[in-house]
Amino acid sequence: MTYRITTLSPLHIGGGSPSGLLDQPTFKLGGRPAIPGSTIKGKVRSLFEAEVRREVEKRMRAQSPQEAARKLKGVLEEALAEVDRIIGGDLLEHFCNIAPDPEAEPYAYYPLICDAASQLHCNPPHSAYDFGDDRSETIRLIASYVLLRRSGQRQYCIACTYFGGNGHPSPLIFAPATAVGEVKTAVATRVSIDRFTGAAKRERLFTLEYVPPYTEFVGHVYKAEELSDYVNEAQIDEFVDRVLPALLRRIRTIGKHKSVGFGQVEVKPEGAGQSEEDVREFVRAEVERRLEEACNADLSELAEALRRVKEVEEKADEIVGVVAKFRRRVLEMVL
């Protein structure tokens, strides 16, 4: 897929160390201004995650994300306490030390989708083989099942499936977007402001390189040549055709210094236009599919993996029974 970005205001994307009289150079490739693929991927992933969370929130019928997170954290704590009873461990105690605060990080506890920046991010399937030994990975494994983010060992949450996660390479490659034609960057002199006093900070004058308004960039998104067996190729194709163009069009700002008007952009994917409803329909269908899988999952893959761990092999079925019990509690919250 090809898309074009037009800057509507000055654009600055951090591009390395100070050089000469320039304190903050902008990002370049081969001497030409460019926008890193990771910048675009991060924006698109954030927009997709927000859409999935909105769908999950509708189903949970909670007054706020924090209320939902408190309930889900409680379910997870009960599950860890019962697993501790079975294996004689201290998972719950360790969880209390690393658990995200539901008030500050409510998305860390959402069903079906993880918060990649939290302690409860998706972890690779082989973490089952360290069950009980690596307490953090064990907690993440239990959380991934209890919070319905996976129903089998070779599965990740909805967002990680399409954008990659810990141990799962992204099926989509976002190449850098490069400037079209001859582009001359400009330099602005600015001063840092103290957020507490509202006055200029002493000795904090700096020079900033930026790309001028109405500069055009061209970027490309490719499907990875080799897809991991954690994804379905047909689903990736549908995502690229129906969802990705609409998400790209939603991008309004990128780069640094947005609070002073920098980074306003317009993004236009090439090809047929996809509507916002395409995104919502895709997300609704994906959530429905995941919930149906969760309802029908027998967790046999998890049980098989735990039987390979000497310390818990005889307790595997009991552990899986606890996981299944609390998965049903979460299912009741979203069905």
Report whether 218 contacts 248 (CB < 8 A): no
Rg value, the chain, Cα: 23
Indicate if the pLDDT at residue 200 is higher than 60. no
Q: pLDDT for 7-47, tens place per residue? A: 999 999 987 777 777 888 999 999 899 999 999 999 999 99
Q: What are phi and psi of 186, to 5 degrees?
A: -125, 170
Mean pLDDT of 204-215: 88
Residues ≥6 apart with Cβ < 8 Å to 248: 3, 40, 44, 267, 269
The predicted pLDDT at position 129 comes to: 87
The predicted pLDDT at position 149 comes to: 97
b/e code 144-166 from CB counts within 10 Å (16+ = b): bbbbbbbbebebbbbbbbbbbbe
**CA 131 to CA 139: how far, in whole Å?**
9
Q: pLDDT for 102-133, tens place per residue? A: 999 999 999 999 999 999 999 887 888 888 88
Strand partners, 275: none
Report whether 264 contacts 252 (CB < 8 A): yes
Q: pLDDT band for 63, please (50, 70, 90 cuts).
A: confident
The whole-angstrom distance between residue 136's C-alpha and the CA centroid of its chain comes to 19
The predicted pLDDT at position 204 comes to: 66
- Of 211, 240, 275, 261, nearest to 6 by C-alpha is 211
Q: Is pLDDT larger for residue 128 or for residue 218?
A: 218
Write down the mean pLDDT value for the chain.
Answer: 91
What HEC string does 36-48 produce?
A: CHHHHHHHHHHHH
Q: What are phi and psi of 286, to 5 degrees?
A: -65, -40
The predicted pLDDT at position 119 comes to: 95
Q: Domains of the chain: which residue ranges?
A: 2-179+212-334
Q: Is pLDDT larger for residue 167 or for residue 3?
A: 3
Indicate if the pLDDT at residue 203 is higher than 70. no
The predicted pLDDT at position 8 comes to: 97
* Sheet strands (E) in the chain: 2-7, 28-29, 32-35, 172-174, 177-179, 186-193, 200-210, 216-223, 265-269
3-state secondary structure of 237: helix
Q: pLDDT for 260-272, tens place per residue? A: 899 999 999 987 6
Q: pLDDT band for 100, please (50, 70, 90 cuts).
A: very high
Residue with the two structure tokens 């991927």: 41
Indicate if the pLDDT at residue 227 is higher than 80. yes
| β-strand pairing of 172-174 with 216-223 | antiparallel
**CA 92 to CA 98: how far, in whole Å?**
10
What burial class does residue 282 get, using C-beta atoms within 10 Å of its C-beta: 0-12 exposed, 13-18 middle, 19+ buried? buried
